Structure 1
Amino acid sequence: MKPYILYLIDFSASAKGFGAPGDDCCADVVVVGAGVARAALAHTLAKDGRRVHVIERDFTEPDRIVGELLQPGGYLKLIELGLQDCVEEIDAQRVLGYALYKDGKNTRLSYPLEKFHSNVAGRSFHNGRFIMRMREKISTLPNVRLEQGTVTSLIEENGTVRSIHYKNTAGEELEAFAPLTIVCDAFFSNLRRSLCNPKVDVPSHFVGLVLENCDLPLANHGHVILADPSPILFYPISSTEVRRLVDVPGQKLPSVANGEMAK
């Protein structure tokens, strides 16, 4: 799974009003992308009275194997942000702890939830369903503008990021200004490369499978198998599906076409 990085960049422009797409200085904050962290941040800033312009490359439901298991601390943070309903109506599963397996032995590790309300637990789900619920939530706020587009570059002036260039769905090249922009992106991002020179090392890949109607040894638990040569994870993502993640060592992902992946 790819680690994520958050950049906070001060813009030299000042916000003048929340106008039409492409207008200069039409927001207090520009948020690039509408994933989990960015949608939650856009919601929080908007509830605090900021005008937030969210530019997302693709608003269709994503299908990813990352961000599928929310720990209890994450659920408590959703409550704090007023976003706990985003794990409702998506067939999310309660997670109460982990089962750990190694060398023929196993043990159970439960979350210390005794001091919390009975509804507090981990949640596992389809990542895309969760993201769509969060996007739906922020779309109801009057001071949030969601726009589909691809951010192509950060524009600098005298060592300061002044604005961003992006292309909308009509293919128009537009520029967006705000006192602050937030880019929360994967480490293969071109925007990240424009800000720093990260050393990217890929020691392995997580390969995901979905098992249907498969009962795990412990219900409502994640399962960690410390296997040779690398770990394997199992956890429910719906009432009928279990995610299996296999860590495959090596910088190159084995080919599905020639049978290397199956082997």
Structure 2
Amino acid sequence: MKDCVEEIDSQRVFGYALFKDGKSTRLSYPLEKFHADVSGRSFHHGRFIQRLREKAASLPNVRLEQGTVTSLLEEKGAIKGVVYKTKIGEELNAYAPLTIVCDGCFSNLHRTLCNPKVDIPSCFVGLLLENCQLPFPNHGHVILADPSPLLFYPISSTEIRCLVDVPGQKVPSIPSGEMANYLKTVVAPQIPPELYNSFIAAVDKGNIRTMANRSMPAAPYPTPGALLMGDAFNMRHPLTGGGMTVAMSDIVVLRNLLRPLCDLNDAPALCRYLESFYTLRKVTCIYKHLAFGTHFQKWYF
């Protein structure tokens, strides 16, 4: 699947740079024993997702149907498929021996499959900086600022995504100008000078977006005929930058479990078998957090 990060102007990432109290250090990935092409990648999320869809659609045993799933089809405690609406509003049923529920952080399906205890510790305020250079090229940048961290990372050859973590669930108002004032007076003085002018220009441009940071522990109810994945199942604070990596790792774990199976129609037996997915994935998730998240736990979590 590595070709999915090609032709979207994705950027190679070789590590992270940390900034605190005017000092900085670089933490590079230990890539010495790997092939020269191995690196992290950062990109426009939508471009990557579209490439994944195109890749799936190119496979001879895959048929894509687009619609909005409204509910799960349940019969005698087992999930038999989904109810969905097409673009023209037609309501249809789709049946399958295994339904993978992965409808994201705003999932309206996961309540029947898990105990969703969502915590919102903060919000991210997003800006797009243009035509500027990071102090450490091809690295993500984390500024351990007051009152909370800031992130900078390249998403194309000309754009740098900035995410400002704002504690609490209420952020300064964008329409009233409070947000712009907060970014200019509280945040801007703490960012590296190489990024300052582009940061102010992005604030003045006004394309400021906000999104709540959600965390939710994995607490599934093993249910015959269904499996939870992605943010509908387990959310971590995006500060660690591990969401996409964990998603891909989960897919590999599930693929390896399903690969030897010839028949998925015994729903109770399949459910018992797939319970191991929730155990096997923990090792990978813990590793991904240790690879990056522990640098921040003593300051932030």
TM over 0.5: yes
Q: CA deviation at 1:160?
A: 1.1
Counterpart Cα distance in 2 of 1:260 and 1:181 = 45
Q: CA deviation at 1:180?
A: 0.3
Q: Does the residue aligned with 1:190 lie in a helix, a strand or coil?
A: coil
Q: CA deviation at 1:86?
A: 0.6
Q: Are 1:110 and 2:53 an aligned pair?
A: no
Q: CA deviation at 1:142?
A: 1.8
Q: CA deviation at 1:187?
A: 3.6
Residue number in structure 1 paired with 2:12: 94
Residue number in structure 1 paired with 2:168: 250
Q: Are 1:119 and 2:119 an aligned pair?
A: no
Contact 1:211 1:244 in 2 (8 A): yes
| AA partner of residue 128 (structure 1) | G
Residue number in structure 2 paired with 1:213: 131
Alpha-carbon displacement from aligned partner over 1:27-69 (angstroms, at most 9, x marks no partner) = xxxxxxxxxxxxxxxxxxxxxxxxxxxxxxxxxxxxxxxxxxx
Identity of aligned residues (%): 75
Q: CA deviation at 1:195?
A: 2.9
Q: CA deviation at 1:89?
A: 0.9
Q: Are 1:225 and 2:143 an aligned pair?
A: yes
TM-score normalised by L of structure 1: 0.66
Counterpart Cα distance in 1 of 2:119 and 2:2 = 35
From 42, 54, 71, the equivalent of 1:153 is 71
Q: CA deviation at 1:110?
A: 0.6
Residue number in structure 2 paired with 1:196: 114
Contact 1:237 1:243 in 2 (8 A): yes
| AA partner of residue 54 (structure 2) | E
Contact 1:205 1:248 in 2 (8 A): yes
Structure 1, unaligned runs of 5 or more: 1-82
| AA partner of residue 153 (structure 1) | S
Q: Does the residue aligned with 1:131 lie in a helix, a strand or coil?
A: helix
Contact 2:81 2:97 in 1 (8 A): no
Counterpart Cα distance in 2 of 1:113 and 1:210 = 29
Q: Does the residue aligned with 1:182 lie in a helix, a strand or coil?
A: strand
Structure 2, unaligned runs of 5 or more: 183-301
Q: Does the residue aligned with 1:86 lie in a helix, a strand or coil?
A: helix
Task: Answer with 197-206 or 142-151: which moved more.
Answer: 197-206
Q: Which aligned pairs between 1:1-263 and structure 2 lie closer than 5 A?
A: 83-262=1-180, 263=182
Contact 2:81 2:98 in 1 (8 A): no
Counterpart Cα distance in 2 of 1:95 and 1:135 = 24
Counterpart Cα distance in 2 of 1:185 and 1:174 = 18
Alpha-carbon displacement from aligned partner over 1:115-163 (angstroms, at most 9, x marks no partner) = 0111111111111111111111111112111111000001211111122
What's the Cα RMSD here?
A: 1.2
Alpha-carbon displacement from aligned partner over 1:221-244 (angstroms, at most 9, x marks no partner) = 111100011110111111111110
Matched residue pairs, number?
181
Contact 2:80 2:98 in 1 (8 A): no
Q: CA deviation at 1:188?
A: 2.8
Counterpart Cα distance in 1 of 2:53 and 2:117 = 32
Greater relative contact order (Cα < 8 A, sep 6+): 1
Contact 2:80 2:99 in 1 (8 A): no
Contact 1:187 1:200 in 2 (8 A): no
Counterpart Cα distance in 1 of 2:105 and 2:9 = 31
Q: CA deviation at 1:104?
A: 1.7
TM-score normalised by L of structure 2: 0.58
Q: CA deviation at 1:196?
A: 3.5
